[in-house]
A = this chain, B = another copy of it.
Amino acid sequence: MFDLPDSIKEAIAQLSRIPGVGEKTATRQVLALLNWRAEEIKDFSQSFDDLLNIQKCESCGMYADEKICSICSSEERVSQGTICVVENIIDALAIEKSDNYQGTYHILGGVLNPLLGIGPNELNLDLLVKRIESHNVKNIILAINPSVEGDATCSYIRQIVSQDIVIDRIGFGIPVGGSLEYLDGLTISKALENRKQM
């Protein structure tokens, strides 16, 4: 049976390494890409090479072009005195997209998970405590996903942060557009617990 040239097979293998891309999809995509002009393929490859220059913000852990990201270097946002703690960069981007938060972020890089060997030292916690002490931080919002590990991480943060700091956890309940009929019991319990007087 005919085999594709090695360079094509290698590009397919590389593309299949991206989560969610199977070999069939990758084959179709690489063959589509081969119809591009040489400069276009060059630009494509170059754009991934350029990712190697990406840095992480030394303050919050967000991807940044400079040493400090655009949020941490914005006087307006830092002066709010609020840090929103998230598990990862994608979560921070999701909050940022909701366009309803004006403070800064702090990327933990995961949640405590003893089974996977993720303890406090594996998370970006020391820097969080330092930021709280050195900047004039008054509020922490824990935007950590609800799970056993997430809950434990939140409790741990409450313990290591000075009691003067107000720590809120993001609200749980029925998502907008969601329907009670299809929601799990735990979400409904949380929604009842978090009811608000009208």
Contacts and interface: CB of A to CB of B under 8 A. Distances in A.
Interface residues of A, number: 56
B96 A47 contact: no
Contacts of A53: 7
Contact of A28 (B7, B20, B50, B51): B20
Contacts of A34: 51, 54, 63
Q: 9 shortest A-B CB distances, which residue pairs?
A: A45-B48, A14-B47, A5-B65, A7-B50, A45-B49, A11-B47, A10-B47, A2-B96, A14-B44
Contacts of A54: 5, 7-8, 34
A147 interface: no
A97 to B, nearest CB: 8
A182 to B, nearest CB: 23
Interface stretch (A35-43, A136-144, A165-173): A35-43
A87 to B, nearest CB: 13
Contact of A96 (B1, B19, B63): B1
A38 to B, nearest CB: 6
Given A1-B96, A2-B92, A18-B33, 13 more contacts: A7-B50, A7-B51, A8-B51, A14-B44, A14-B47, A17-B36, A20-B28, A30-B51, A33-B48, A34-B54, A41-B51, A45-B46, A48-B48
* Binding site secondary structure of chain A: helix
Contacts of A69: 2
A7 B45 contact: no
A38 B10 contact: no
A164 interface: no
Interface in A87-131: 89-90, 92-93, 96-97, 99
A43 B65 contact: no
A32 interface: yes
A148 interface: no
